[in-house]
């Protein structure tokens, strides 16, 4: 059986940040080991993505096409959607290869499986959640599959979805077979986040009100053996010359000591690598910050999200303002860039919380003023996603209607503070410009 995996469009254009699709590369390698003939196409790497799909279909002639939908939309306060190009890709596959089975998967598909099965009638099946075990079972029984973890199949006008797999033992993790998709295609294409991702764990035990990681990966943390993680990084460095990596974990520095042990192993092997990942502020101190820096961390990425205690509490971050300021103070003393992500106009926003948020952002800039190592501050409204507490808050507060379709970009940004983000962006830009221009205090 011939299986083609297609990473569908997950960015708006060639200038956007792209990522190496480790999910489908892992699946392709696993199927190849089972005797399948496999190939991979990432639509995000070329200038004519739909032409590339048609060409690959005609040359490879797959029996099965796996469509991976990574992002539902570009986020960043944008109102464009990645569903239309996904729909068109499925239509193109069905038109060019009408006898091929089409199976959908990926993080974004897993958020809207029933909705996307209705929206894209060309899909025969979908898989929600982890597919390492489920996809081979489906391929062996395409005409009449049994109950399979995460399987999404048509059921009249809707879809029947089996409970997803969220329990892969990361001790059995199979590394992506990079020979199937050359990482060199992704060298030097990103300015913000390294294109090559490394998984060190799956799962997230936290309860952030807007977040879907626990839905996608479960709440139980499953960590990879540290040597296996470093082996993968060392291999990519030696075989492909890759020096920069992004740890894809929801939180890279939790649980305590896992990242620390990875860093110690990087240092022990004397590897000259650069990496980044999202960190929790309350698990960040002078000792591990110094270790992370020594092991090659090039960016401390924090996503505290709340600009004051009231916002932190309503977002259920389980952090205090002091945790964020202490982490900022520690990071500001290093030679590592720091990036902060905040959410604006959260439920319960008032003039008081807006003023507190402005002052809080000023304090972070003040802490980084000496070394000027604040990379950027990202300010976003909250994208409302299904199954989150934010959806319940938005519906209960009348911000969205009962029939609002969350498949398409929907943000929590009610009046009267719907323009607050622009006040924050003006402050952020002003402080950033004056920090570098050295012409006096920002105004």
Burial degree of 216 (CB within 10 A; 0-12, 13-18, 19+):
buried
Residue 183 carries which DSSP code? Answer: G
Check if the beta carbon of residue 35 is closer than 8 Å to that of residue 138: no
Determine whether domain 182-279 maps to CATH 3.30.750.210: yes
Report whether 59 contacts 53 (CB < 8 A).
Answer: no
Residue 395: its pLDDT value, please?
A: 96
CATH fold label, 2-161? Rossmann fold (3.40.50)
What pLDDT does 269 receive?
A: 98
Query: Which positions ≥6 away from 388 have C-beta within 8 Å?
Result: 209, 210, 211, 212, 215
In angstroms, rounded to a whole number, what is the distance separating the alpha carbons of residues 251 and 342? Answer: 16
CB-CB neighbours of 222 under 10 Å: 16
- Helix, strand, coil share of the chain (percent; to 5): 40, 20, 45
Q: Which residues on adjacent β-strands are paired with residue 223?
A: 201
- What pLDDT score was predicted for residue 428? 93
Please state the separation of Cα 413 from the chain's center in Å: 22
> Are residues 10 and 45 in contact, defined by beta-carbon separation less than 8 angstroms?
no
Query: Domains of the chain: which residue ranges?
Result: 2-161, 182-279
Instruction: Read off the pLDDT of residues 16-25 as tens digits, 9 standing for 90 and up.
Output: 778 999 999 9
Which residues partner with 40 through β-bridges?
5
Cis before 255? omega within 30: yes
pLDDT at residue 14, as a whole number: 62
The size of the chain, in residues, is: 443
Collapsing DSSP states into helix, strand and coil, what is residue 151? strand
Task: Report the distance separating Cα 218 and Cα 169, nearest Å.
Answer: 13
Q: What is the separation of C-alpha 302 from the centre of its chain, rounded to a whole number of angstroms?
A: 14
Cβ atoms 103, 66 nearer than 8 A: yes
- pLDDT tens readout for residues 117-166: 999 999 999 999 999 999 999 999 999 999 999 999 999 888 999 999 88
CA dihedral (160, 24, 386, 361) in degrees, to 10, reads 170
pLDDT of res. 320: 98
Q: Are the CB atoms for 55 and 20 separated by under 8 Å? A: no
Q: What pLDDT, on the 0 to 100 scale, is given for residue 443?
A: 47
153 backbone dihedrals φ, ψ, rounded to 5°: -130, 160
H or E segment to which residue 382 belongs: strand 382-383
Residues in the chain predicted with pLDDT less than 50, given as ranges, are 443
């Amino acid at each position: 059986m011939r299986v083609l995996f297609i990473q569908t469009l997950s960015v708006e254009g060639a200038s956007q940040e792209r990522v190496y699709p480790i999910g489908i590369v892992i699946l392709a390698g696993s199927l190849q080991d089972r005797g399948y003939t496999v190939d991979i196409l990432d639509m995000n790497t070329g200038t004519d993505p739909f032409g590339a799909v048609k060409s690959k279909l005609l040359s490879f002639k797959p029996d099965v096409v796996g469509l991976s939908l990574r992002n539902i939309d570009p986020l960043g306060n944008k109102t464009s959607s990645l569903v239309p190009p996904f729909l068109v890709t499925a239509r193109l596959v069905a038109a060019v290869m009408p006898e091929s089975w089409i199976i959908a998967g990926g993080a974004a598909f897993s958020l809207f499986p029933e909705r996307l099965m209705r929206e894209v009638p060309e899909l025969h099946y979908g898989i929600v959640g982890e597919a390492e075990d489920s996809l081979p079972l489906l391929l062996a029984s395409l005409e009449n599959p049994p109950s399979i973890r995460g399987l999404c199949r048509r059921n009249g006008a809707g879809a029947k979805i089996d409970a997803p797999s969220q329990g892969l033992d990361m001790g059995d993790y199979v590394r992506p077979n990079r020979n199937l998709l050359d990482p060199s295609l992704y060298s030097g294409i990103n300015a913000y986040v390294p294109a090559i991702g490394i998984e060190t764990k799956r799962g997230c035990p936290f309860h952030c009100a807007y977040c879907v990681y626990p839905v996608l990966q479960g709440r139980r943390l499953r960590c990879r053996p540290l040597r296996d993680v470093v082996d993968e990084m060392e291999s990519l460095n030696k075989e492909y010359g890759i020096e920069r990596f992004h740890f894809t974990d929801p939180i890279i520095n939790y649980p305590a000591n896992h990242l620390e042990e990875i860093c110690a192993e990087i240092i022990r092997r004397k590897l000259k690598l650069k990496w980044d990942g999202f960190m929790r502020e309350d698990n960040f101190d002078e000792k591990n910050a110094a270790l992370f820096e020594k092991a090659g961390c090039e960016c401390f990425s924090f996503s505290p999200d709340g600009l004051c205690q009231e916002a932190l509490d309503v977002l259920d971050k389980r952090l205090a303002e002091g945790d964020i300021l202490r982490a900022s103070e520690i990071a500001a003393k290093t030679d590592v860039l720091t990036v902060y992500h905040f959410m604006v106009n959260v439920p319960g926003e008032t003039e008081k919380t807006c003023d507190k948020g402005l002052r809080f952002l000023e304090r972070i800039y003040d802490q980084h003023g000496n070394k000027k190592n604040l990379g950027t501050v990202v300010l976003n409204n909250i994208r409302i996603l299904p199954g989150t507490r934010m959806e319940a808050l938005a519906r209960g507060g009348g911000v969205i209607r009962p029939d609002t379709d969350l498949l398409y970009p929907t943000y929590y940004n009610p009046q009267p503070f719907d323009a607050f983000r622009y006040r924050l962006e003006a402050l952020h830009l002003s402080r950033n410009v004056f920090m570098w221009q050295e012409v006096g205090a920002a105004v």
